[in-house]
Amino acid sequence: MKTKKPRLMMNGHTDEVQTPKVAIESLLPYLEKEWVIWECAWGGGSLARHLSDEDFEVKGKSDLDFLNDTELRGFDCIVTNPPFSKKEAFLKRAFEIGKPFAFLMPITALVGQKRMELYKKYGIQIIIPKKRINYIMPNKQGSAWFHSAWFCYKLGLPKQINFAPSS
């Protein structure tokens, strides 16, 4: 069986990173159990599996184009780890859809002129996990060099910036 090589971006990094289960721990208290969740950046499906393991109904598929598909029915909330190279386009699309969402992104996604304009217009809330996320990356082991956070919209978080409990 031939192993698929990850698609590299211009800077030599890949967008094909999978989400470990520990990443959803800080988000779970803010998701409604009756919600149907759309995982719109399916990839290998690890995030969808983790949410399903927590008894959430998760929709999505690997061939759906979140940025261009117009068939957006039957979900209450979007939870995803978007391709980092497309985070701005994913945020713009999610804000346009107008439903609650949680995107796992590098904390540096707080900055950037176009993203900041989106945050000013729509608002954003953050959940900061207690430690760095060790993403599952092709041909790489060890922790990420960057910190990540859940960028949330319409989840009813208690504050703008929320820190995961350290216990």
pLDDT digits over 23-59, tens only? Answer: 999 999 999 999 999 999 988 889 999 999 999 999 9
Q: Which residues touch 15 (CB under 8 Å, ≥6 apart)?
A: 7, 9, 83, 84, 85, 86
CA 155 to each of CA 32, 92, 125: distance values in angstroms, whole numbers, following the listed order: 9, 17, 8
Return the structure tokens found at 56.
């959430």
DSSP 66: T
Distance CA 20, CA 50 (A): 8
- pLDDT tens-digit map of 68-107: 876 667 899 999 999 988 999 999 999 999 999 999 999 9
Which pTM was predicted? 0.86
Cα first-last separation, the chain: 43
* Domains along the sequence of the chain with CATH: 21-163 (3.40.50.150)
